[in-house]
A and B are shown apart, each in its own frame.
Chain A
Amino acid sequence: MREFSRLYAELDATTSTTRKLAALQDYFQRADAADAAWAVYFLAGGKPRQAVPTGLLKQCAMAYAQIDEWLFEECYHSVGDLAETIAHILPPPTRTSDFGLAYWMLERIAPLRGAEPEVIRSALFAAWDELDWQGRFLLAKLIGGGFRVGVSRLLVTRALAAVAQLDPKLLAQRMVGWTDGRARPDAERFARLIGPDDGQDHRLQGGQPYPFFLAHPLIEHPRQLGPVGQWQIEWKYDGIRAQLVRRHGSNWLWSRGEELITERFPELAALDLPDGTVIDGEIVIRLPDSGQQAERVAPFADLQKRIGRKNLTARMLGELPAGLIAYDLLEQDGHDLRGLPQQERRARLEQLVQRHAAPALMLAPQIVAADWDALEQLRATSRQRGVEGMMLKQVDAHYGIGRTRNVGTWWKWKVDPYSIDAVLIYAQAGHGRRASLYTDYTFAVWDTPAEAGGERKLVPFAKAYSGLTDAEIAVVDQTIRKTTIEKFGPVRSVRPSMVFEIGFEGIALSTRHKAGIAVRFPRILRQRVDKSVDQADTLDNLRALLPSSPVTESEEDAQPAQQDH
């Protein structure tokens, strides 16, 4: 554990990419293969299930530190991270040990899953007796199931490629699926990961997908991108990005987080395609009139209902049928097509979809316009169409890896978000870097217009915690402390004094929100220092943004659940 905790400390301590890369290389050069396998798993974003329930972990820590719950909670509110709080409050260890990460994962942590509370308690006490601060912090993170390291997957790939003296592209390909919980990281797998290139890698085993090619946000006007004819243009759908892999008579469906989601979408698992086919596209919920060209699809909220369900009933499959809007073909007849130009892959995709027509397999229509201005006018209709904007893909682009731009570029050209001026009424301290700073806010609008007269009430409608700079947060934090009315645990209610412009991507009716409205991806666009609280928007202003045919919001919370392109 010490080697890995040193690596974690080094990655955590610096913001410099060069130093992070050096620390990673150093670690992988020296680490035991079984430990390194687990390290790759965590660094690449692997998330094992929680081994000990949070409540029990807390109870044990309080007992070991001999402090009461109120004091633990005070500590937690100052620290803003459970694992870190636990590491801080425990008295010093009584002895030292140095076992590797794999030993901890397999011998010490895995047996805790589902064990009796007394067994867990003595196991935790024994572990705390022998671990130092950093080790205890990591242990709590590994047990808690929410471990995250501040390092990009690309950087891990680069470090491993350097250590293995392999092409980073090859390593990226081998890394696909590493974080899928079903395959246990072990020494043998790690050896294969960094083993020499035997020329067999191009033949993909089983249902492995390709690393996803990701788009860049387009900030400027696309006029600077040259002639519009050089671009393949599609709508940007609000669904789940996925690769459908067909090999050896079976289908595998992978989300962009490289999670295998085949069972969630039996419609797509049943699609009959030739062996050796990999399609990149977007999973959406079909409407009766969606058609082969996906002219209209159901809002994301409907898709969330499907994601949220463990058991898919026949009724749900009937009411919310899923489909894949195909927009790229990565493999055909077992051949990797990623090196072909975009338009060539598109032509082959069109043929394929035509030949294997099925309601659940749609083709992303291409948008044709005479020039950028015409395209911009079309883009303005995005909201009516239920899409987020447009995708611009270079006609000669290869299918790259991740956010690379060396083999052609994909741009996402999103519509401007909805926006509303709202009043900050509650604040809560943030986590991690924002611990003990008030950074998470609840915003409200007025229930009636000012002209209506009488007593008006502020109705909360959204929570947002991003969009302000550190300097802006510091100022808002000070105001919150000065205008606090009441404290409820970590939350403060404040005297309404600050107005913010809140942006969001979607809006739907909701029975579970006080305002009767749920918004998607709410964030702070800016503080409206020019506006007084009275001038903030009203519920009517908010309702006016609802689409004409109202859709009800799902059971899942209106939070980002799917991963963006």
Chain B
Amino acid sequence: MEDMVVVRKEGLYCVPGDFYIDPWRPVARAVITHAHADHARMGHAHYLASAPGAGILRARLGADIHLQALDYEESITHNGVRLSLHPAGHVLGSAQLRMEWQGCIWVASGDYKLEADGTCTAFAPVRCHTFITESTFGMPIYRWQPQAEIFEDINRWWRANAAEGRASVLFCYSFGKAQRILHGIDPGIGPIVCHGAVEPLNRLYREAGVFLPPTATVGEAEATRRGKSNAYAGSLIIAPPSAAGSPWMRRFGDYSDAFASGWMRLRGTRRRRAVDRGFVLSDHADWPALQEAIAASSAERVIVTHGQVATMVRWLQQNGLDARAFTTEYGDDDADDSSAAPPATAQEQPGHA
């Protein structure tokens, strides 16, 4: 049988449906799994995305894009292909795309995470014949601790800094990771200040009904605390990695800095970052979760995209699956997080994590 999804120079292409999935070049019809920049690009004539992610997509790509939004599990038929979106648990609005045509089912996962975090609908496995999976952390060295332990580590670090009269600056990706941290930490420790890249996303999350503790921008914080010498002592500052080393940081005086990312699992990466602390917190599935998701899909064929492609393909083949790779341009995310990852190679193109 012909493949339902192939790679074209524009992106992943659904042949019978005549549409693209997260294309990296402008096309007529694009289905967007989630609003991270390497998956949701500008310039497509028509967009289809999940209803919970519509607000963020419009905020990032423009209010005037031609966007059709689908609720999770809701299905439509396009050129004979039955389409539906299912929660991927990655960030607000993230979805797996299910495509059914002539009795054959393919699922494109986009990016996903299995651990439910309360800031987006939890991942739901979808049974299919062919599963297109990411592999950002597709190596056995990547195993996450439960997030509650990581949040407790962050709280302890923040509390200790506050006790010593220092500010705590936590660098993380501004869409998804920042809100997950805000949702998970103990807001009783002190005031929370967010960078200008983070605050608009907080607003969108709150509008979508996600609980986030009160936050302020530096402008707001400084308006109320003007004149105090150590205005930020005891505060937690959430900022994108690109803010590190910028003049924006000077206002915080004495501070301890940290970085939250799955890449912090490796000591080498963490030490290269040269921050005081590295918190291992990822929006992607770790090695065991990737295996679990693949098994839960019950797919016999697996196609691996961005990440540890060669390793995953070989491992899956060894375990009796029909596995191969798609070469994509995913994983090459916004500049503010790609620098956190180990350098990219042909096989490993890490993105936000």
Contact = CB atoms under 8 A, between A and B. Distances in A.
B140 to A, nearest CB: 5
A70 B312 CA distance: 12
Given A13-B276, A70-B314, A478-B343, A435 B140 contact: no
Contacts of B315: 71
Nearest to B271: A433
A435 B266 contact: yes
Interface in B128-147: 139-143
B272 interface: yes
Contacts of A15: 274
A299 interface: no
Contacts, number: 76
A79 B343 contact: no
A78 B141 contact: yes
A93 interface: no
A71 B311 contact: yes
Given A68-B318, A84-B266, A432-B268, A75 B343 contact: no
Nearest to A12: B267
A88 B274 contact: no
B265 interface: yes
Nearest to A132: B145
B343 A436 contact: yes
B271 A88 contact: no
Contacts of B271: 432-433
Interface in A308-334: none
A550 B309 CA distance: 52
A79 B140 contact: no
Interface string B237-249: 0000000000000
A68 B319 CA distance: 12
B141 A79 contact: yes
A481 interface: yes
A84 B143 CA distance: 13
A472 interface: no
A396 interface: no
Query: Is chain A's interface secondary structure helix, strand, loop, or mixed overall?
Result: helix
A81 B343 contact: no
Given A68-B318, A70-B314, A74-B311, A436 B141 contact: no
Contacts of A67: 140
Nearest to A76: B141
Contacts of B267: 12, 81, 84, 432-433, 435
Nearest to A84: B267
B342 interface: yes
Interface in A465-484: 470, 474, 477-478, 481
B269 interface: yes
B142 to A, nearest CB: 7
Interface in A56-114: 65, 67-68, 70-71, 74-75, 78-81, 84-85, 88-89, 92
Nearest to A68: B318
B268 A80 contact: yes
A433 B272 contact: yes
Interface string A16-32: 10000000000000000
B239 to A, nearest CB: 20
A185 to B, nearest CB: 26
A201 B269 CA distance: 45
Given A78-B139, A88-B140, A89-B141, A474 B343 contact: yes
Interface in B157-190: none
Contacts of B318: 68
Interface string B269-289: 101101011100000000000
Nearest to A87: B141
A391 B342 CA distance: 43
A83 to B, nearest CB: 10
A70 B141 CA distance: 14
A511 interface: no
A74 B140 CA distance: 10
A470 B269 CA distance: 12
A78 B141 CA distance: 9
B229 interface: no
A478 B140 CA distance: 26
B142 A88 contact: yes
A14 interface: yes
B292 to A, nearest CB: 13
A434 interface: yes
Interface residues of B, number: 26
Contacts of B274: 15
A80 B342 CA distance: 12
Contact of B139 (A14, A74, A81): A74
A503 B264 CA distance: 35
A154 to B, nearest CB: 21
B345 interface: yes
A470 B266 contact: no
Contact of B268 (A68, A436, A470, A477): A436
A11 interface: no
Contacts of B342: 78, 435-437
A79 B266 contact: yes
Nearest to A70: B314
Contacts of B345: 481
Interface in B273-329: 274, 276-278, 308, 311, 314-315, 318
Contacts of A435: 266-269, 342
B336 to A, nearest CB: 17
Interface string B336-352: 00000011111000000
B140 A13 contact: no
B353 to A, nearest CB: 14
B266 A78 contact: yes
A103 B67 CA distance: 65
A12 B345 CA distance: 28
A112 to B, nearest CB: 25
A12 B278 CA distance: 11
Contacts of B343: 436-437, 474, 477-478, 481
A89 B266 contact: no
A110 to B, nearest CB: 27
Given A13-B277, A436-B342, A79 B311 contact: no
B167 to A, nearest CB: 15
Nearest to B143: A88
Interface in B225-272: 265-269, 271-272
Contacts of A75: 139-141
Contacts of A437: 268, 272, 342-343
Given A81-B267, A481-B344, 18 more contacts: A68-B318, A71-B139, A71-B140, A71-B315, A84-B266, A84-B267, A89-B141, A92-B143, A432-B271, A433-B272, A434-B268, A434-B272, A435-B266, A436-B268, A436-B269, A436-B343, A437-B268, A481-B346
Q: Which 10 A-B pairs have the closest CB atoms?
A: A435-B268, A88-B141, A433-B271, A436-B342, A89-B140, A75-B141, A74-B311, A433-B268, A477-B343, A80-B268
Interface of A: 12-16, 65, 67-68, 70-71, 74-75, 78-81, 84-85, 88-89, 92, 431-437, 470, 474, 477-478, 481
Interface of B: 139-143, 265-269, 271-272, 274, 276-278, 308, 311, 314-315, 318, 342-346
30 contacts: A13-B277, A16-B276, A67-B140, A70-B314, A71-B139, A71-B140, A71-B311, A74-B139, A74-B308, A74-B311, A75-B139, A78-B139, A78-B141, A78-B266, A79-B268, A81-B268, A88-B140, A88-B143, A88-B266, A431-B268, A433-B268, A433-B271, A434-B272, A436-B266, A436-B268, A436-B342, A437-B268, A470-B272, A477-B343, A481-B345
